[in-house]
Amino acid sequence: GSDDIIAGNVSKHIVLPAGYSGQPKKGHLIFDACFESGNLGRVDHVTEFEYDLFIRPDTCNPRFRVWFNFTVENVKESQ
């Protein structure tokens, strides 16, 4: 569930639609938070334009998730 503990950051994680097999195409987003202050722990594909993002808690204050820091690559025009 969404309350699962997220231990680390995603690192160049390619998010593919369910049932898709083959090489990633333009528009299959690549998420990365493997850098200082990155805090994206998990990404779930919902639709072509919708993703559920799970942010790791702040190291010094695990009760709160008040900021986010990650990158997204491989977007297609008007996505």
pLDDT tens for each residue of 41-57: 999 999 988 999 998 88
When pLDDT is cut at 50, 70 and 90, the band that residue 5 belongs to is low
| Whole-structure pTM value | 0.79
Residues whose CB is less than 8 angstroms from the CB of residue 73 and which lie 6 or more positions away in sequence, other chains included: 29, 30, 32
Q: Torsion angle, CA of 4/39/44/76, rounded to 10 degrees?
A: 180
Question: How long is the chain?
Answer: 79
Q: What is the pLDDT of residue 64?
A: 72
Q: What is the pLDDT of residue 53?
A: 93
When pLDDT is cut at 50, 70 and 90, the band that residue 20 belongs to is very high
